[in-house]
Amino acid sequence: MPAGTLYRGREGMWSWVAHRVTGVLIFFFLFVHVLDTALVRVSPEAYDEVVATYKTPIVALLEYGLVAAILFHALNGLRVIAVDFWSKGPRYQKQMLWTVVGIWVVLMAFSLYPVLGHAARELFGS
């Protein structure tokens, strides 16, 4: 039986899937952001209500997820460029993927503390 999953693509296929998923999530965020910003011209009161909901701890965690998606998408995009335009890129694509994942994990870990601190202050007061 082949290693990996149904797709039999291993790391390369999963990075492809993650790149597409993060791209769709970023697009969805931008779509919602344009809609909620446009709301200010329709009803400033409704806009203020929507913006007030963005100050909740749950939205803070969703923002952290957005940062995670953007950061992975950007780092993996650089890896894709290297694979496409560097003559040795295809040979080292797996190592570059694990480098991207490592950098992503480190950066996300460092950025987690401010997010959790903000969420805790919102939940429990400061």
pLDDT tens digits along 81-108: 999 999 998 899 899 999 999 999 999 9
The answer to whether the beta carbons of residues 121 and 66 sit under 8 Å apart is no
pLDDT digits (tens, 9 = 90+) for 18-31: 999 999 999 999 99
Which secondary structure element, helix H or strand E, spans residue 1, and what is its range?
none
Chain center to CA of 8: 25
Q: What is the pLDDT at residue 82?
A: 93
Q: How far apart are CA 72 and CA 50, in angstroms?
A: 28
Query: Averaging pLDDT over each range in 47-56, 59-68, 71-80, which range is the top one?
Result: 71-80
The answer to whether the beta carbons of residues 82 and 96 sit under 8 Å apart is yes
Q: How confident is the model at residue 3 (pLDDT cuts 50, 70, 90)?
A: low
**Nearest alpha carbon to residue 12 among 86, 73, 85, 98:** 98
DSSP calls for 25-73: HHHHHHHHHHHHHHHHHH-HHHHHHHHHHTTSHHHHHHHHHHHHHHHHH
CATH code, 10-124: 1.20.1300.10
The pTM of this model reads 0.79
The helix/strand/coil state of 92 is: coil
Q: What is the pLDDT at residue 57?
A: 80
Q: What is the pLDDT at residue 75?
A: 97
Q: Where are the domains of the chain?
A: 10-124
Q: What is the pLDDT at residue 14?
A: 87
pLDDT digits (tens, 9 = 90+) for 69-78: 999 999 999 9
Q: How far is CA 96 from CA 1, 56, 59, 77, 99, in A?
A: 27, 37, 32, 11, 5
